[in-house]
Structure 1
């Protein structure tokens, strides 16, 4: 949006903006240049001196003389020979903005040597990359998954990387698999949120394609529930493709926890074990280290090459956000369970834990139970203030295509969760949701869902990183006080 772009320009002091006339997404044109113009008209963003425009749709766009330059014209007379610029390993490579639970988005700074090494090494190791293979990461290039595994990692390894402009359900829900067949993709890396959306459409759109080229499947962006994992493995991969369920963050630069294909036994829903050199611990709220099979807060006890170096322009915020909770350790903000085999199961953000009548439970557990129901495509669970229980369970539920919402189905879902987990986990409120507020990397913005559940719709905070801000408006309209 113009607002979010203006904020980023002001924060990092950009002098040049590169854009296209328009983008294409789901059959619609996205007015990229118009958004840039609107952003640069805002206070603080007027520092930009040059706007370089790539012609994509050849749309008729206004040109600001002395500022706007068309790439097609500027490239004439410029040599294609561009010698590499020697850089220090700790020189900044890029600043990528990621949403926080509070305040404005953080400018995550990654450096040239460490980040590039980590992106390249993890791309080769985790995906068992073999020279000549076609690698497809479906993430938006503007987000960290796209940075690391559309651009830097694959290209540093000389891989063929496929870049896709569009959405998985346009012009129809076979689109991903048609692209796989057309370009003979061997390695496919996508988000659970996309998989669940496609899963709700049934197996037909997948089985209408071959997918014989696929050798390895990957998952990224959020914990994948076992039901979606099995569908991915059995339907998309036909039971022959290993799944690397990867855990990492914008701040980590690349994958930290993942199975290694052919070397790690897989468990549906588990990211399995940390990569070599990644030192993890589980700690309790007081910072005491927890051993063996247990649940706790996930921290990292030593550095790794791809680690972010600072929050741009606010080094104090860097320390306060990541190192103040457990001094000397990087706090991921995620809760985690470690089983008897030493496998790690990410349970979601620590603030996604609900305390119901003194019983602590992860929202992911309730969500997985809801998604087990045949009529449910996706679910997101948050806590809200409850006069008796302290916190109640508020469930946003997206139904499969063709399923109509009704009160009998609400009662059936509550009974289903009681059966799967127990009475303590039964949702107090079920809110029918046509969609969930997500970032373009597929993360559900639970902060917004909590505010809606609490009825605090006037304080939803920053929504600039949402893929579809209109979803929030629909959820607010449908909200009924609990």
Structure 2
């Protein structure tokens, strides 16, 4: 990576965040140096247990138990232990429907819905599929599962029927909970109709439908209305006492060539990791009004809202729909209207706001906002500076973090209010985690040297297995570097110990013997005023091994042509060096994206090299982009 990025001045915690920091600098240093097992025992004392843990860990990666013998319940930690009169949820839909829920109301509804599930035959260990958007019913249904010890599986509301079916077939749920529909960017997305198609020929005992968009939606014979079921249930199910390693949920990750992997997370183990993650990455306090913009179907939301967020007792803003609908000013209206103090979002969302320009910000009072944390993909420094300087008016701290579905936390981050960051980096490994960047032979890389990111010790929120296929878990995550978890991401550590994750290892290219990651090339492109977004992929080359090819989405008012493409190639050379000059710059009006907004670089690489896309497409939001990009690659104007 270009030295100028690694040598930027550190961005230090702002004074308001430092004044409310969860620990002193000295205590932070102690925790960072502490043996992970000792640290996680200390962290466990901040949670509520029936049988507190006395031992941190037994076993090794691939076969370990955290807090063996300790018992408790996730829903008690997230709901019951907070003052019942405190506001838990401030729900808003893009068509301005609003609801407010206190912790008392949410606890009561959760306990009654858990009782309703019991009456339908759901018991500890049974699976419940959750096919919902960002709605209060998602909180109720998921915490009802935690209360019973049922294993829930969240299915993203934007998935196709075939993707939903794959997940149902694998998890074999006894109950599916869904809404009739959701709304997104002014359109109605018919979830129940998609579910009906997905369930053809499948044997699911019960379907529970929350009618939120069309209250008159007609249920099929034998189906249950969510609110009718809830209203007629007066019994409150007591929380089941669960051992710390018993499974809490299954969450699926998309594979590139095979069926999605159902990762299994322990209930209380995940709670411990998520609680600690929110403490350090957000320093979330009971007086915060906090907005996590992620979708309930991605693990970011359970970590930073459903479990980790609620465990800290803050007030959560929950938004259903496109955050830029009906105008790009909507996020600023939400922040101003609710007095939001902290936001957790994704680099994609910030780039979207930046692309819309500064005009939507005008006239909005965001002075209460102190922190924007984010996760999801590499963050370019240009967007970091725009967020801190323009959106945050120099008042906010921008905390870029790094984690994976498998790790159950964004385990690399600033310790908010305590440690600084460098624009574009991911902070440092938080207490309780031991990371190494290694070369292909497993030896540790030097500071500044790009390599493979690994974790060397178990931690409570690490996924324990793949549902029904532990051998796949071992082969996928533990075989590349025996004794370590392999993240399959390329990274480096700078001179201050800050982590830089540059993308997937597949995106690291070897150009004439030089290993180059895509992050710094994309960052150089985004500094050009004509560029809205950029993605760089490797193309095989007989002479150099591989060469970079850049895909660029321009701003709407720029003049396209060969002169612009040459300028963009020069921008990469200036930012990274002559070795990184792209073989081609392909300007395209759109690129394939996931439903969470990430550019699908794998598909760009397939189109460039193979002329077609392969592998799992269940997370692709805009299939029309494939033909557009294919035409641009071949020199067309489509």
Any conservation in 2 of the 1:201–1:401 contact (CA below 8 Å)? no
Alignment partner, residue 26 of structure 1: 185
Query: Which of 193, 198, 202 lines up with 1:39 in the alignment?
Result: 198
1:118 deviation in Å?
1.0
1:80 deviation in Å?
6.0
1:432 deviation in Å?
2.4
3-state secondary structure, aligned to 2:416? coil
C-alpha distance 386-62 of structure 1, shift in aligned 2 (>3 A): farther
1:82 deviation in Å?
3.0
Any conservation in 2 of the 1:221–1:441 contact (CA below 8 Å)? no
Distance in structure 2 (CA, Å) of the matches to 1:141 and 1:420: 37
Q: Deviations over 1:52-78 (max 9, x none)?
A: 111111166453212x22223322320
1:291 deviation in Å?
4.4
Alignment partner, residue 287 of structure 1: 442
1:414 deviation in Å?
1.5
| 1:65 maps to 2:65 | no
Alignment partner, residue 501 of structure 2: 346
1:188 deviation in Å?
0.6
1:442 deviation in Å?
4.0
C-alpha distance 63-237 of structure 1, shift in aligned 2 (>3 A): same
What are the residue-to-residue correspondences of 1:427-466 with 2, within 5 Å? 427-457=582-612, 459-466=613-620
C-alpha distance 80-466 of structure 1, shift in aligned 2 (>3 A): farther
TM-score by length of 1: 0.95
Distance in structure 2 (CA, Å) of the matches to 1:385 and 1:442: 27
What are the residue-to-residue correspondences of 1:202-213 with 2, within 5 Å? 202-213=357-368
Deviating 4+ runs (over 4 angstroms): 59-62
Distance in structure 2 (CA, Å) of the matches to 1:387 and 1:294: 25
Alignment partner, residue 87 of structure 1: 242
1:406 deviation in Å?
2.4
C-alpha distance 87-472 of structure 1, shift in aligned 2 (>3 A): farther
Query: Which of 626, 630, 638 lines up with 1:472 in the alignment?
Result: 626
Query: Which of 347, 358, 368 lines up with 2:523 in the alignment?
Result: 368
Alignment partner, residue 338 of structure 2: 183
| 1:409 maps to 2:568 | no
C-alpha distance 443-320 of structure 1, shift in aligned 2 (>3 A): farther
1:119 deviation in Å?
0.8
Alignment partner, residue 388 of structure 2: 233
Any conservation in 2 of the 1:293–1:342 contact (CA below 8 Å)? no
Count of aligned pairs: 477
Alignment partner, residue 323 of structure 2: 168
Distance in structure 2 (CA, Å) of the matches to 1:406 and 1:117: 53
5+ unaligned residues in a row in structure 1: which ranges? Answer: none
C-alpha distance 445-290 of structure 1, shift in aligned 2 (>3 A): same
1:466 deviation in Å?
2.6
1:261 deviation in Å?
2.0
Q: Deviations over 1:113-149 (max 9, x none)?
A: 1101111121122211121211111001110001111
Any conservation in 1 of the 2:400–2:424 contact (CA below 8 Å)? yes
Any conservation in 1 of the 2:372–2:398 contact (CA below 8 Å)? yes
Distance in structure 2 (CA, Å) of the matches to 1:290 and 1:427: 26
Any conservation in 2 of the 1:371–1:379 contact (CA below 8 Å)? yes
Q: Deviations over 1:320-369 (max 9, x none)?
A: 11100000000111111111111111111111111223322101111111
Bigger radius of gyration among the two: 2
1:475 deviation in Å?
2.3
1:293 deviation in Å?
4.3
Q: Deviations over 1:400-429 (max 9, x none)?
A: 232243222112211222232222212222
5+ unaligned residues in a row in structure 2: which ranges? Answer: 1-159
C-alpha distance 293-477 of structure 1, shift in aligned 2 (>3 A): closer
Distance in structure 1 (CA, Å) of the matches to 2:239 and 2:624: 43
Query: Which of 257, 263, 268 lines up with 2:412 in the alignment?
Result: 257
Any conservation in 2 of the 1:16–1:51 contact (CA below 8 Å)? yes
Distance in structure 2 (CA, Å) of the matches to 1:4 and 1:176: 30
Distance in structure 2 (CA, Å) of the matches to 1:32 and 1:103: 25
Any conservation in 2 of the 1:143–1:440 contact (CA below 8 Å)? no
3-state secondary structure, aligned to 2:521? helix
RMSD: 1.8
Query: Which of 556, 569, 578 lines up with 1:423 in the alignment?
Result: 578
Any conservation in 2 of the 1:201–1:400 contact (CA below 8 Å)? no
Q: Which structure ranks higher in relative contact order (CA pairs < 8 Å, sequence separation ≥ 6)?
A: 2
Distance in structure 1 (CA, Å) of the matches to 2:220 and 2:310: 35
3-state secondary structure, aligned to 2:567? helix
Distance in structure 1 (CA, Å) of the matches to 2:531 and 2:252: 33
3-state secondary structure, aligned to 1:289? coil
Distance in structure 2 (CA, Å) of the matches to 1:147 and 1:130: 17
Alignment partner, residue 146 of structure 1: 301
1:175 deviation in Å?
1.0
What are the residue-to-residue correspondences of 1:72-151 with 2, within 5 Å? 72-79=227-234, 81-151=236-306
C-alpha distance 221-80 of structure 1, shift in aligned 2 (>3 A): farther
Any conservation in 1 of the 2:408–2:462 contact (CA below 8 Å)? yes
Alignment partner, residue 221 of structure 1: 376
Any conservation in 2 of the 1:148–1:254 contact (CA below 8 Å)? yes
Distance in structure 2 (CA, Å) of the matches to 1:468 and 1:25: 14
TM-score by length of 2: 0.72
